[in-house]
Amino acid sequence: MKKYFYVAKTKDGKKIKGIEEANSKEELLNKIHAKGYFIISVEEQPVKIEKKSIFSLFQYKGKRKSVKLYDLALFARNLTTTLSSGLTLLRSLEIIAIQTESLKLEKALTASATYIKEGLSFSEALKKFSNIFPQLWVGIVEVGESSGNLPFVMEKLADYLEVRMEFERKIKTALVYPTIILIAAIIAVFVFLRFILPKFIVIFEQFDIELPFLTQIIFGIAKIFKKPLLFGIIVGGLILGIVLLMRSFRNPQTKKFWDKFILKFPIIRDLVFIECLERFSSSVAILLESGLPLVLTLEIAAYSTNNSFLEKELLYVRDKVRDGGSLSNELNRQKIFPLLISEMAKIGEETGTLPNVFNRVSLHYQKELSTKIDRLISAFEPLLIIIIGIIIGIIVISLFLPLFRLSTLAGGKGISL
């Protein structure tokens, strides 16, 4: 089918433009007339033939396939700048698509520009890439389009994403040292079992003595490392198990189980719960500040928690608010939410400052989450060292036990070792 660009007028005299596919110009004219439009002009779109050259091999060199939070924050900030400078949305998307470091985001922006040329709105184009742009983006862009102030809401979104990016950077920085210790410990144990212990196995086998039970276990583990096939099967099984576990988090049915299980797991439940509350409160703050209605704000903020169990509770609150209930009262009735949120929401309702109130709640939970993570890491580091010491101690003891036995046997026979 061919593509045609047309300009037409509605019965009210409003000029419209668009691109339609049809087998012929006559078929297109019939389509447009059927819609009740008056045709001004029709032009056939030329078919673009991409010429491939050796330089096309390097077109995407240096670009990542994934989309990071950094890419989205930079996109929002750049879009704010270009729109505020007077550039059109289409031209802005084309420029930012070239500049972005993410290949996936570049393709999404290029396709979005094409959808907009074909008549879709910016928010409708973003909906087609829900794996990149969550509902938070779509909701904020819709507000900007309806109010005619897209640069303002994109600036708010950029501020929000930059705060989240800085927050996540602090958490990742705090996890660097424990991660290095853990990796170093795993490598040390692997080297010991793979290269050092086998030499002791050969020595003890020459004396033909009965090894202690602990030594037999450690030597048995070391022998697995010397058998490539068996070792490969075990490692492959572990990798497969991890992959299946990660996929189960993405499956809607199993994700419900894991989301509820994590909120009950003793060690990390507080961290996960506070993170979900921080995501919810920060989403509510930016959406309300952008001008989105409260009911739609609660719906989008519920999905932003990334926890199906809390999402269900928050969607129930949304339904009650839509039916005329008070946000603070409905949050208070759901016993799972802390009293802080419902009381702060009540203050916001009475003073008409809900966005500011939820922004303060978000900052509170960010500080609380950072404090809890720091405490957990501070407790984890010495615990990790103790565990490593126990593992190395067991290995050393397993080596000394048969040495003591050899010494005893040699002493009884008058043999000096």
User: Quick check: is 166 in a domain?
Assistant: yes
Specify the pLDDT at position 416.
46
Count of Cβ atoms closer than 10 Å to residue 274 Cβ: 20
pLDDT for 109: 93
Task: Please tell me the predicted confidence (pLDDT) of residue 52.
Answer: 42
Count of structural domains within the chain: 4
**Is there a single domain that holds both residue 222 and residue 188?**
no
Question: Domain range for residue 232?
Answer: 216-248
Task: Classify residue 145: in a domain, yes or no.
Answer: yes
User: Tokens in use for 194?
Assistant: 């793979």
CATH number of residue 133's parent domain: 1.20.81.30
Instruction: Write down the pTM of the prediction.
Output: 0.68
Q: How many residues does the chain have?
A: 417
Q: Which of 220, 244, 224 is nearest to 234 (CA)?
A: 224
Same domain, 39 and 88: no
Is the domain of 123 the same as that of 195? yes
Same domain membership, residue 225 and residue 262: no
Our CA angle for 7, 11, 13, nearest 5°, is 60
Q: Residue 49 has what DSSP assignment? A: P
- 3-class secondary structure for 219-265? HHHHHHHCCHHHHHHHHHHHHHHHHHHHHHHHCHHHHHHHHHHHCCC
Task: Give residue 126's pLDDT.
Answer: 92
Instruction: Extract the residue ranges of the chain whose pLDDT is less than 70.
Output: 1, 7, 9, 11-15, 28, 38-43, 45-62, 409-417
pLDDT tens, position by position, 41-70? 666 765 443 444 433 444 445 678 889 989
pLDDT at 415: 47
Total Cβ atoms within 10 A of residue 130: 11
- List, for residues 93-123, the tens digit of each pLDDT value: 999 999 898 999 999 999 999 998 888 889 9
Is the residue at 408 inside a domain?
no
Q: Give yes or no: residues 120 and 144 share one domain.
A: yes
- Residue 72 is predicted with a pLDDT of 93
166 within 8 A of 70, measured Cβ to Cβ: no
The reply to whether 360 and 379 lie within a common domain is yes
User: What are the tokens at 18?
Assistant: 């668009």
Radius of gyration, CA atoms only, the chain: 31
Does some domain include residue 140?
A: yes
Q: Does residue 160 contact residue 366 with C-beta atoms inside 8 Å?
A: no
- Do 198 and 77 sit in the same domain of this protein? yes
